[in-house]
Amino acid sequence: MPREALLVRTMVELADTLVDDYDVVDLLTHLADRCVEVLDVSAAGLMLARPGGGDLHVVASSSDAMRVLELFELQAEEGPCPDCYRTGEPVLNEDLATVDGRWPRFAPLALEAGFRSVHALPMRLRGQTIGALNLFRAAEGGLDEADVLAAQALADVATIAILQQRAVVEAKVLNEQLGQALNTRVVIEQAKGVLAERANLDMEQSFTRLRAHARNHNVRLADVAQSVIDGTLPTGSLDPLPPPR
Amino acid sequence: MVVDRRLRILSELNKASGRATGTLCEVGAKVTKMSGAGIMLMSGDVPRGSVCTTNEVSALIEELQYALGEGPCVDAYNADRPVLEPDLAHPSEPRWPAFTEPVLEAGALAVFGFPLRVGAVRLGALNFNCDRSGPLTEDQHADALVMADVAAQAVLAMQAGAPPGELAAELEAGADFRYVVHQASGMVAAQLGVTVGVALIRLRAYAFANDRPLNQVAEDVVARRLRFDGHEDRDGRT
């Protein structure tokens, strides 16, 4: 298949995946594999910084070979990805035989692994850089302009996938908190009712008594409420209503 | 264009003043040209309460769904897709047996439910009602989808500011989470020596049998005008 067709197919696949609920690591691994096919490189990997910044970590690689994984590992300290991540600019066609001053540990190790050139493209959206797409080439010659455009397009898709997934995770956490807050309120209202009936109080007095007990014993109001409802805290064991101020 | 619709809705929200949640419902009804709108939060397949309603009809629609567990919001949430009933008096498929009649009587001839979701996260549903029967136009449908999207994100953004374990004050203001129903469940549980879950079922059954709103029955229990002691039956007011 010609490269353009491969690229289009990859983009369509990714677009289809993005509208569904997807596993981000699966998607990125698939993307790394496609990079190797589409861009005529020998290995590809995606390195990400944690939200808020910090060192880069590899999240997907087209190869499980130890020698390749070591190259990613090392880039927590030096290499094309941290350079690209720091500046937000691509690192292209670096000939590993001549760059050892720039990356004194990374370059010899990459050469030893059989690679001739290395590239990194920023994963960036609206001024925020979250990581880099790393490409290794064993054959002679570099990436041409069309390769670079295609590589950046793939890096952009990966970026959108990751940011979208982060937004979904955040929404999940918030929704759980919302559900929990609603539940807690229900339990407290129910406990007010139980106590109001048993101790012949109005709702406000009930609430004051539950809250006073929670404060005196340094337990959460929601836990006191649950114990009143399930009967493990009988009305007689609840601290009495504090005198009105 | 979705972007145009979103911008228009955001600019309407920006122009409006007043409570954040109330504005969501009002702008929702305005951009879709509906008679009323309401936002219902749900969790675990159960309506948890109404965040906002624009008028008495939409308040009734939410009240009935809360009490009966059926209606466009409940279905839209459970099915995770829009639920459209353009002609409530002559529905294409029979549904919502208890919900339909009082809603028609109140003057809503069409009801529409749109799920509130962010990604795979489901929060509840947005409902619209119209005093005329007839399907949504393509434009109205598209606006409703975008409005539901904006509302879902707004609800989560509001909750993001809340202390852990608590409901955001913005969400609570003007909301109706039926606290009186839960207070009454607690009282009835103590009166009958049953769990609060069973007590709620008894309250619902009583309200249904006496053709009264659940809220009113609960208020009677809390005000001690009604006791559940096994003899309350059909008109058990004591």
- Contact call for residues B139 and B130 (beta carbons, < 8 A): no
Nearest-CA neighbor of B208 among B100, B130, B98? Answer: B98
CA distance B68 to chain A (A): 18
What is the Cα gyration radius of chain B?
A: 18
Longest Cα–Cα distance in chain A: 88
Distance CA A139, CA A145 (A): 17
Would you call B41 and A172 a contact, using CB atoms and an 8 Å cutoff? no
pLDDT digits (tens, 9 = 90+) for B57-80: 999 999 999 888 899 999 999 999
Q: Which residue of B has its CA nearest to A19?
A: B119
Copy the structure tokens of residue B132.
């005329």
Please tell me which of the candidates B43, B160, B189 has its beta carbon nearest to residue A194: B189
CA distance B178 to chain A (A): 9
Would you call A168 and B44 a contact, using CB atoms and an 8 Å cutoff? no
CA distance A191 to chain B (A): 6
- pLDDT tens track of chain A, all 245 residues? 677 888 888 888 877 777 666 788 888 998 999 999 988 899 999 999 987 777 899 999 999 888 888 899 899 889 999 999 999 999 998 899 888 689 999 999 999 999 999 999 999 988 789 999 999 999 888 888 888 999 999 999 889 888 888 888 888 888 888 888 888 889 999 999 999 999 999 999 999 999 999 999 999 999 999 999 999 999 888 988 877 76
**Chain B interface test: which of A176, A194, A228 (most B C-beta within 10 Å):** A194
- Overall size of chain A counted in residues: 245
Would you call B190 and A164 a contact, using CB atoms and an 8 Å cutoff? no
Tokens 């001549």 sit at which residue? A98
pLDDT of amino acid B236: 45
Which residues on A lie below 8 Å from B223 (Cβ)?
Answer: none
Does A172-237 carry CATH code 3.40.50.1100?
A: no
Would you call A196 and B162 a contact, using CB atoms and an 8 Å cutoff? no
Would you call A185 and B167 a contact, using CB atoms and an 8 Å cutoff? yes
Same fold, A3-171 and A172-237: no
Locate the domains of chain A by residue range. Answer: 3-171, 172-237
CA distance A240 to chain B (A): 19
The type of residue at A188 is: I
pLDDT digits (tens, 9 = 90+) for A123-135: 998 878 999 999 9
Would you call B185 and A196 a contact, using CB atoms and an 8 Å cutoff? no
Give the burial class of A117: count Cβ atoms within 10 A of its Cβ; 0-12 exposed, 13-18 middle, 19 or more buried.
buried
Query: What is the value of ipTM here, to two decimals?
Result: 0.78
pTM for this entry? 0.70
Look at the domain A3-171 and name its fold.
Beta-Lactamase (3.30.450)
